[in-house]
Amino acid sequence: MSEFSFDQVASQRLWTVAVEQLRSKIESGEIPVGSQLPSERVLCSELGISRVSLREALRVLQATGYVQTRQGAGTFARLPEEREQATSLWFANDLHVIELLEMRIVIEPGVAAFAARRRTDDDLVAMECAVSDMRRAAELGDRLMVVAADAEFHRVIGLSVRNAALGDLMEQFQEQSGMERRASLSVPGQTQRALDGHQAILDAIRSADAELARKAMQSHLEDAMHITHEYAETISQSKEKKK
């Protein structure tokens, strides 16, 4: 048993409930920032969920800045940056983030094309759920779950291809793109643009139109790169004028 107290989660959409519970405990200080989370075995037991659901919850929390996984050391609680700080970090790490997005633009449109050919009905349901979750979170102003649902949508598309090498590559994208997602989706109007992009990608994959899915994903990622980079430059110029 761990030093932290958890409630057993309901059976529906286990990872989202686990995310909310862990986030709440980190924000309240019940799990102090910098402290190590209990082991997977203990968390699974106390939350009443499987390792698969727990790992999904931890993946989301890492992508949104609430935990940090250190190789060989474990998973530690942290707090995400505020919007302006996140956007400033985007600009400070501009080259790395642009390179990451360029790599995604090279890879993910092809992944979407394969998904249009290989997806199952269950895959479509998972994609639809991610879009619905993101839309609901946007309406509630819940930035964490907006970012989480964004990451989940792209992850599910990668899984639907059923290619282990591509799956591993998509996992690497998820691990590296937490700051980029938070900054991008903090740009005014970008959440709605991202939702529109996700819907277009989903519609193309549902219709089994590989070329349309490829184009929709490319347009979505290029828009995110352009809009966020432009906004980061505006923030930087504004700060320069204040000096």
> Which of 77, 99, 126 is the C-terminal boundary of a domain?
77
Q: How many domains are there within the chain?
A: 2
Q: Is residue 8 part of a domain?
A: no
As a whole number of angstroms, the distance between CA 241 and CA 31 comes to 40
Is 180:172 a contact under the CB 8 Å cutoff?
A: no
Q: Same structural domain for residues 216 and 140?
A: yes
Residue 44 domain boundaries: 14-77
- Asked whether residue 161 falls in the same domain as residue 203, the answer is yes
> In terms of domains, do 181 and 101 share one?
yes
Considering the domain architecture, whether residues 60 and 132 belong to the same structural domain is answered as no
Q: Which of 153, 184, 187, 186 is nearest to 170 (CA)?
A: 153
In a shared domain, residues 89 and 51: no
Question: What pLDDT is recorded for position 6?
Answer: 63
Same domain membership, residue 186 and residue 154: yes
Would residue 228 count as lying in a domain?
yes
55 and 98 share a domain?
no
- My answer on whether 102 and 50 are in the same domain is no
One domain for residues 107 and 190 = yes
Which parts of the chain sit beneath pLDDT 70? 1-3, 5-14, 81-97, 174-180, 183, 235-243
pTM over 0.85: no
Same domain, 28 and 143: no
Same domain, 98 and 202: yes
SS3 readout for the chain: CCCCCCCCCCCCCHHHHHHHHHHHHHHHCCCCCCCECCCHHHHHHHHCCCHHHHHHHHHHHHHCCCEEEECCCEEEECCCCCHHHHHHHHHHCHHHHHHHHHHHHHHHHHHHHHHHHHCCHHHHHHHHHHHHHHHHHHHHCCHHHHHHHHHHHHHHHHHHCCCHHHHHHHHHHHHHCHHHHHHHCCCCCHHHHHHHHHHHHHHHHHCCCHHHHHHHHHHHHHHHHHHHHHHHHHHHHHHHHHC
Of 59, 77, 95, which residue sits at a domain end? Answer: 77
pLDDT in tens, 89-128: 554 555 666 777 788 899 999 999 999 999 999 999 999 9
pLDDT digits (tens, 9 = 90+) for 172-194: 776 666 666 776 787 889 999 99
CATH label of the domain that carries residue 56: 1.10.10.10
Last residue in a domain, options 77, 104, 125: 77
Torsion-angle region of residue 10: left (phi > 0), alpha (psi -120 to 50) or beta? beta
Output the domain CATH number for residue 148.
1.20.120.530
What pLDDT shows up at residue 83? 46
Q: Residues 61, 117: one domain?
A: no
